[in-house]
Structures are given as structure tokens and as C-alpha cells.
Amino acid sequence: MAHITRRALLGSAGLGLLAWGARPGPTGAPHDTYFSNLSQALKRAGIGTPTLVIDRQRLHANVNQILRNIGGRMQLRVVAKSLPSMALIHDVLSLTKTDRLMVFSLPQLLQLAPDRANTLLGKPMPVTAAAQFYRQVPGNPADQKVQWLVDTPQRLVQYRDLARQQQLSLAVNFEIDVGLHRGGIDSAQSLQDMLAILQSEPRLRWSGLMGYDAHVAKIPDVAGLRQKAMDHARQTYAAYAQQVQAALGNAVGTATFNAGGSPTYRLYDGSGVENELSVGSAMVKGLDFDTPLLADLQAATFIATPVLKVPRQFRMPYGVEVLGDAARIWDRNQEQAYFIYGGNWLAEPVSPAGLAGSGLYGTSSNQQVLVGSGLQQLQVDDMVFFRPRQSEAVLQQFGDIAVYEDGKISQFWKPMAATA
């Protein structure tokens, strides 16, 4: 039989105490002033279901900050997919005094067409989608200021054939690969082939280049790695622009040389051939956009949802209750459960502080459980706030968007229909 010494006993007791001391401490707090004011505004507006909120003052502050950062050195193109509400897009366009939009879907393109905005497609559309656009678009097709994005000689031939069949004059912008490797022209030969097709068809008008560089922001800013990727992107861009210049000459003067996006727009200073930057997401700043390059912008969109149930404590279902007991004993941040209206969104809880989903209990789109220490002091019918990870798609999941300004819900903005 094993002989348990006094020393071993003391040792294990010591270890146990050490482990107990390493338990996570309780964290969390009730809503701060910003979120309690927002809660009250929602209550006064009679809102009791999951609702997407845009803080219009923060939105405007972000847009103005972005304009200041660009400083007129380049033009701004507003990314419609990341601000998917006509009212929101119009609010931003009027503030930025631009008519430049980047659009990524046929239904959104059709919806925006009557605005006669200067529109650049952000991805190459199948030619059948372009044909559908010209069948459905109201008004004169020649009136539409659309730059179709074309990435390969094959697609350019398809667009050329569409232009011939429908007797259209099409503006085509060439997508170039500046390092993201998400498609686009990736060799001088491809560009040469496309220029040859273009020059043999008067119905096609070349309108510029688009090179997206999102990978640059993902590369760690150590040992010059990010700078290297940025230098590569800009040199690649310049080389393609030069090749077009050699072939087309004058057309280059008025061309759209689009680059950047929310994650990278700060890396441009207007010194290169790129003459405009696309930005959308950063204006409302979902969680994924909490990056050092966007630190001067504020979160301007939230999901608000009421608490439905506040049980005595967090409990796992019958049969595995012991797991919940153990979790509660170990981590005081799993002491209290709050069941909310809805859930399972592409979003994280932000207020009150210290709430989290339960890996043990799982998630639910119907009544998600959040766990916390109880320091949040939530009651039934109180609001919980989430931050969407991104604005694209998420803004379209909650019906009318509640616009928060001057301490109240001032209006509601219809989101665009959730289509691809």
C-alpha cells in the first residue's frame, strides 16, 4: 500500500491552494453612461426587440476624421456593401461630398443606379449579371456611370460580346493583383492581351485599375515585413499603370486608379499613381476594424437586445448540472446567466462589461445565454449591447436601423434587402 507522507500531503494541499488562488477573479460592471443613455433612448423609442443601432454623431465624426486623414490628397470612394442602407449611404455621400461608390452585388447596383453615381464594381460580375443589369436598369443604359471590373482576357471577351450584342458602350476597369492573390491580372502578358482586346473594340472604354491590398494590414508590422508588402503592392500597381500608359496614352489622365480599403487606407499618402481610396467599414467600425491604423475612429454601430430571463444562477441542463456547478466554482465569471432575445450573431457582447457566451451551454439564435459575474446587475428587460464584427451583411439582419443622435432615437433607416 502506498505510504502517504506528511510532506506529500502538505505538498498537494499547497498545490490545491495555489490553483484555487489562480481562479479567474470576478470582472464586469453595469452599463457606463454611454450605454445607459443609449438603453434609455431605446426604451423611450419603444424598442424591445433585437435592433441594430447606428450612432450618427460617431458616424459623422468617423467620416470627418477619415476625410481629414486623406487630406484631399486622394479621392474617397464609399464602399456600399459595408454601409448597406440607402439612407446610410446617402448620409455618408452628402457628408463626403462625393458621388463615388464601390458596389459588390447586382441587387445593390440596381438599387443605386437611379442615383447615377460614379460606380466602380468591387468584384468582377459574371457577364450574365451585367446583361441582367442592362435589362432591368431604369432609364437610359448609356446614362449609367458604371465601371465594370474585369479580371481576365476571357471575361473581357464576354463583356465585349455583350457590348456588341446589346449595342452598349461599356466602361471597364481592370482588376490587378497587387499581392492579395484573390484574382486579378497577375502578369504583364495578361494585361497586354486585355489591352489588345480593348483596343480592337470601340464599344469598350478602359476606365482605370483597381488593386486591393487587404493582405498588407494582416502582415505583422515587424522587421519591415509590412512595409515590404506595401512597397510590393505599390510597385506592382505603378508597373501595370505604366504599361497601360504606354498602350493607351491619354486615357490614363482621367483614369480611376482605385486602391486600399478600411484596413489600409492610412498607408497611402497620394504620392503614387493611385488616385482614390475605398472606405466603408471603418465609418461604422465593427470589431474586426479595431486596429492600430484605425485607432482614431470610434465604434458607431451596435446590436441592442433585451434580457429575457435572469435565473438565480448559471446552471447547465439536467443531467450535466454538475458541469455548471464546477464552472461556477472555478470561474466566478460564470456565476450568473442572462438569457437574451436572439443571439448567435456575428458580434461580441460589449456592454455591460464582462459578459461572454458560454462554451459549455452553447449558443442559440433564439435565446442565447450570456454568463457573467453578476456585477453587471442586469434585470429582465434591460438591454445588452453587442458590437458586430463587421457591418457588411450584419446591418441587414435586424430590420429598420435605429439612428441614435443627441441622446435619442431620431429616425429609422431601412437596410437594403439581404441579397447576395
Ligand X SMILES: Cc1ncc(COP(=O)(O)O)c(C=O)c1O
Contact (CB, 8 A) for 212 and 262: no
CB 198 within 8 A of CB 190: no
Determine contact, residues 182/217, Cβ cutoff 8 Å. no
User: Looking at 131-139, 235-243, 280-288, 313-321, which segment touches ligand X (CB under 6 A)?
Assistant: 280-288
CA 118, CA 137: separation in Å to the nearest integer? 15
- For residue 63, how far is the Cα from the chain centroid? 15
Q: Is 281 in the site for ligand X (CB under 6 A)?
A: yes
Contacts with ligand X: how many residues (CB under 6 A)?
12
User: Using CB under 6 A, which of 261, 306, 349, 354 touches ligand X?
Assistant: 261
Q: Which stretch binds ligand X (CB under 6 A): 24-32, 234-242, 277-285, 325-333?
A: 277-285
Span 53-82, contacts to ligand X by CB under 6 A: 79, 82
Do the bridges between strand 276-279 and strand 256-259 make them parallel or antiparallel, or are there none, so unpaired? Answer: parallel
CB of 149 to ligand X, least distance (A): 8
Q: Is the Cβ–Cβ distance between 321 and 402 less than 8 Å?
A: no
Q: Could you say whether residue 351 binds ligand X (CB under 6 A)?
A: no
Nearest-CB residue for ligand X: 261
Taking the complex as a whole, the smallest distance from the CB of residue 289 to ligand X amounts, in Å, to 7
Minimum CB distance to ligand X, residue 84 (Å): 10
Using the contact rule CB under 6 A, the part of the chain among 279-287, 319-327, 360-368, 394-402 near ligand X is: 279-287
Residues numbered 195-254 forming contacts with ligand X, rule: CB under 6 A? 212
Q: All 3 cell numbers of residue 242?
A: 505604366
Using rule CB under 6 A, residue 279 touches ligand X? yes
Instruction: Give the integer Cα–Cα distance in Å for 337 and 24.
Output: 17
268 touches ligand X by CB under 6 A: no
Which residues, 6 or more positions from 51, have their beta carbon under 8 angstroms from its beta carbon? 42, 303, 304, 305, 398, 399, 400, 401, 402
- Does residue 284 bind ligand X (CB under 6 A)? no
C-alpha closest to that of 59 among 34, 103, 89, 38: 89
Nearer to ligand X, 22 or 295 (CB): 295
Cell numbers for 108: 445593390
Distance between first and last Cα of the chain: 70
Stretch that binds ligand X, among 88-96, 234-242, 272-280, 358-366 (CB under 6 A): 272-280
Which residue carries 486596429 as its cell?
291
Contact between 89 and ligand X (CB under 6 A)?
no
Give the binding range for ligand X (CB under 6 A) out of 44-52, 275-283, 367-375, 410-418. Answer: 275-283
Question: Contact region for ligand X (CB under 6 A) — 20-28, 51-59, 278-286, 298-306?
Answer: 278-286
In this complex, which beta carbon is closest to ligand X, that of residue 111 or of residue 262? 262
> 416 with 400: CB under 8 angstroms?
no
Alpha-carbon span 406 to 41, nearest angstrom: 10
Interface with ligand X in residues 99-158 (CB under 6 A): 102, 122
Q: Residue 354 interacts with ligand X (CB under 6 A)? A: no
Contact 208/257 with Cβ under 8 angstroms? yes
366 grid coordinates: 433564439
Determine if 256 is a binding residue for ligand X (CB under 6 A): no
What's the farthest any 2 CA atoms get from each other in the chain?
A: 96
CB 37 to ligand X: min, Å: 28
Residues that bind ligand X (CB under 6 A): 79, 82, 102, 122, 212, 261-262, 278-282
